[in-house]
Amino acid sequence: MVAVSQLVAELPAAYADDLDPAPFALGVASGEPDHESVVLWTRLVRDPLNAVDGGMPADPVPVQWEVARDPQFRQVVQSGEVTAAPASAHTVHVTVDGLAPDRWYWYRFRADGVYSRTGRTRTMPPPGAKADHMRFAFVSCQSWVGGPYPAYRDLAEQDLDFVVHLGDYIYETTNGSLTEFRRLHALYKTSPDLRAAHARFPFILTWDDHEVQNNYAGPVPPGPADGRPFLERRANGYQAYYEHLPLRPEQRPNGPDALMYRRVNFGRLAQFSVLDTRQYRSDQALGDGRKEPTGEVFDPTRTMTGPAQERWLLDGLSRSKARWNVIAQQTIMAAFDYDLGPGQIVNLDQWDGYPPARSRILDFIAAHQVRNPVVLSGDWHTHWVNDLKTDFSDSHSKTIATEFVGTSISSGAGWDADVRAGLAANPHVRFYNGSYRGYVICDVTEERWRADLRVVLNARDAGSPAYTIAAFEVRDGLPGAYRIDAGDGIVARVTDAATGAALPNVQVTVTTTDGSQPVANTTDPAGEVLTFAPPGNYLVAVNGVGYEPENRPVTVVQGTPTKLDLRLRRAATTAGTGRTVPGPQSEGKPSDLVLGNDLVALSVSAGTEDPQLSGVTVGKPLDLAAVGRLDQLDWINLPYASAAQPRGGNAWQQRTVRSTAVEVLSEGGSAATVRATGASTAVPDLRVVTTYAIRPNQPWVTAESVFTNLGTAAHTFWTGDALDHDGAGQRSGVPGHGTITSGTPADYPPTAPWIGMTGSDRQTYGLLYDDTDFVAYAAYNWVMSQRQVTLAPGGTFTLRRRIAAVDSGEDVDPFAVLGQL
């Protein structure tokens, strides 16, 4: 057993389960290194998933520890014995002092006659000493349900000095008991790859929100959980966090309070200011979420760090003699506007929700000319490289610092499409990718800071290969990061074949030869996209609204970027299967019908069922987008035929017209047409036939619904359409009433014959009618038309409208464009 433990540091993560025998089943870890000391950690458990006591007796257990200059422990420099007490879940923290600076050590524990695996750790260069080189990784956001941590497997194989963890080490449940938090920490450490990373490198850690409760702010919970007082939950979360990680005694919590912000120096090469932006922050403004910033958002007394920590940070930056001044913290510091129009939508949980606090820091950095400031951030599960400015509204303002945001170890990014859609409004974002999980490696010398953005292809595959998606460099004395390589994988640029113009929001899908789909992504405002796949042969499919689709075979060679120049031709007017409308909410399948031309594309269900309209989706529009845009439509419930006037919060959910046949009448030429034939489910003997038609050079599809009374009695019913938009910033609009902001549906008589929906992507959807003989019934996130019709036996009524998707331009009113069609 001794011999095995001596070899641990040299073995890969795959052996971790064998190398962590009970009672050391959760492994070993080190952290918080300075130039002469480091913290060693372990926890004694015999049954890691036993939430109550880990299978340990309710007695203290003596634990011996050793630190040596070599992995064989021939040169032991320090040793001792501590007690693992049941009151602290049999966890062990040993602060080893008196170590030599700037060197590696090996350590191990022994309890009940069993040795732990051997861990490896190091001390920092002395304060003020010259240090030529530093190489570390930073990580965040490791949701257990997101996968088995292949990113940690790759990290554990790197040559690093230390690892910085920026928070969300665990993800909480509704149960806020100390037992539950201990269970979660133990569960996460059953990952052999996480244990391997801890055993190989010292960690410097800070927390974010999920170690307690999502989006909590100081003493304020985001909402109810299990009913216990929030500060009790916070105390339990802090206690379990301290117990399970290599933290110093100064970081031990006192109830719901703990001192987590501190400085770490790597000689005079770098000074790290490690922040805590959760414990002291003001409550999120305007109820949190992504909203237009108004009112209290700009209150200068609101804070992310608390006044004391903010003063501590600024004082440390002003006094620093380091070549690189690093702020290691949780959430994105750069501004990001999700609204491409003249308005603004920001994430109020990030620094965007605390702009005066951000300005105080960035203005201070600019005024005091802090040397080489670099901000490291996590939280948002995506890779970013941002220019930090004192004025984000002016793209020409001076860059004063660089921010690297690391993607998550395993947590998903459901907001990826919303970010990509907003990139055009945020030119200070130098790089963004939200398709992959991973981490960031930083390689630092006096002359330059290099950041390699690492990704794994599939976070749910423990053996997933890892790649560098991009590498950026910051030069000493020159704020701002610059791309220095193209990374591995496929780098494509999509342009208009006739004009050479870059095409944003074009979907690029990489499919293997067996038909599986590793990844789909969309081009950025420069028409570029990065997609990754293991070495092999693939088919690249390109799909953009207004353009003919293209397929291109490609061979990926490991270590060499594969560059594609894709030039698309403008689309002809067509209707048929085999294509989809690209977009984050797109739900149509290739078996559904798409009507498209060079300006717009609309999919109509030929079999796909939406769960909100189950049983009646066939024959109705699923997806819709204008050229240069992505689908953000949920669906259009077109038409309905109800015996009673629709009322209430679910009025849009009409299942009153069911189509039994959908067919293509004309595949193209001067017009492409599709017909859906069905009947009302609520009004007897009422046949409903809707014909869709699209013509060249028109940003709309016409839809004509003919209602025929096949019965022998007259029928009175309500008809119209409902429009639902699922993208960011969704709002409905009614002429004469503007943008509807109320969540309570109400009647809005229109002053012009249209209803509309819009989001944050400067794309407006509209239903334009022949007349205003209807009332609009709307809430902020949906709108419907309602008109009453009476048909005699054999009588018919025709409802005509145009289904439009258009760019709203820079107009303050995103619906003004509908009045021009």
CA-CA distance, 30 to 33, in Å (whole number)?
8
Residue 203 main-chain phi, psi, to 5 deg: -110, 140
**Longest CA pairwise span in the chain (Å):** 102
* Among the listed residues 575, 574, 594, 578, the one whose alpha carbon sits nearest the alpha carbon of residue 664: 575
Q: Say what the pLDDT of residue 535 is.
A: 80
Measuring CA to CA, how many Å separate 446 from each of 104, 366, 580? Answer: 22, 21, 51
Please provide the DSSP assignment of 71-86 as one string: TT-SSEEEEEEEEE-G
pTM of the model: 0.87
At 239, the amino acid letter reads: Q
Q: Find all residues with CB under 8 Å of 414, minimum gap 6, and list them.
A: none
Range with lowest mean pLDDT among 163-172, 656-665, 810-819:
810-819
- Tell me the pLDDT tens digit for each residue of 538-582: 999 999 999 999 999 999 887 777 889 999 999 999 999 999 999
CA-CA distance, 496 to 527, in Å (whole number)?
10
476: left (phi over 0), alpha (psi -120 to 50) or beta: beta
CA-CA distance, 215 to 385, in Å (whole number)?
24
pLDDT of residue 7 exceeding 60: no
pLDDT of residue 12 exceeding 50: no
577, 590 Cβ separation under 8 angstroms: yes
| Residue 467 or 272, more confident | 272
- Tell me the pLDDT tens digit for each residue of 703-749: 999 999 999 999 999 999 999 987 778 899 999 999 999 999 999 99
pLDDT of residue 2 exceeding 70: no
Q: Say what the pLDDT of residue 369 is.
A: 97
Tell me, what DSSP letter sits at residue 187? H
At 314, the amino acid letter reads: L
- Tell me the pLDDT tens digit for each residue of 301-321: 999 999 999 999 999 999 999
Residue 139 main-chain phi, psi, to 5 deg: -140, 165
- Give the strand order in the sheet containing 528-531: 528-531, 490-496, 562-568
At 7, the amino acid letter reads: L
At 784, the amino acid letter reads: M
What is the rounded average pLDDT of the residues 690-710? 98
What is the rounded average pLDDT of the residues 381-407? 97
pLDDT of residue 763 exceeding 70: yes
- Residue that is written with structure tokens 């460099």 in the block: 473
CA-CA distance, 744 to 220, in Å (whole number)?
28
- Tell me the pLDDT tens digit for each residue of 157-169: 999 999 999 999 9
pLDDT of residue 618 exceeding 80: yes
Neighbours of 195 (CB within 10 A): 28
With H, G, I as helix, E, B as strand and everything else as coil, classify residue 35: coil
120, 200 Cβ separation under 8 angstroms: yes
| b/e burial code for range 143-156 (CB count within 10 A of at least 16 → b) | bbebbbbbbbbbbb
* Among the listed residues 183, 158, 186, 165, the one whose alpha carbon sits nearest the alpha carbon of residue 173: 183
Q: Which of the four pLDDT bands, split at 50, 70 and 90, describes residue 486?
A: low
Report cis status (omega within 30 of 0) of the bond before 621. Answer: no
- Tell me the pLDDT tens digit for each residue of 28-60: 999 999 999 999 999 999 999 999 999 999 999
Angle at 362 (CA atoms; ends 358, 363), nearest 5 degrees: 110
What is the rounded average pLDDT of the residues 438-447? 98
| Residue 646 or 557, more confident | 646
* Among the listed residues 817, 799, 796, the one whose alpha carbon sits nearest the alpha carbon of residue 807: 817
- Tell me the pLDDT tens digit for each residue of 137-152: 999 999 999 999 999 9
Q: Which of the four pLDDT bands, split at 50, 70 and 90, describes residue 488?
A: low
- Tell me the pLDDT tens digit for each residue of 238-256: 999 999 999 999 999 999 9
What is the rounded average pLDDT of the residues 279-297? 96
Tokens standing for 587?
């739900």
- Tell me the pLDDT tens digit for each residue of 493-503: 999 999 999 99
Average pLDDT, the chain: 94
Tokens standing for 46?
């015999």
Neighbours of 368 (CB within 10 A): 12
- Based on its alpha-carbon atoms, the radius of gyration of the chain, rounded to whole angstroms, reads 30
Tokens standing for 561?
């970027």
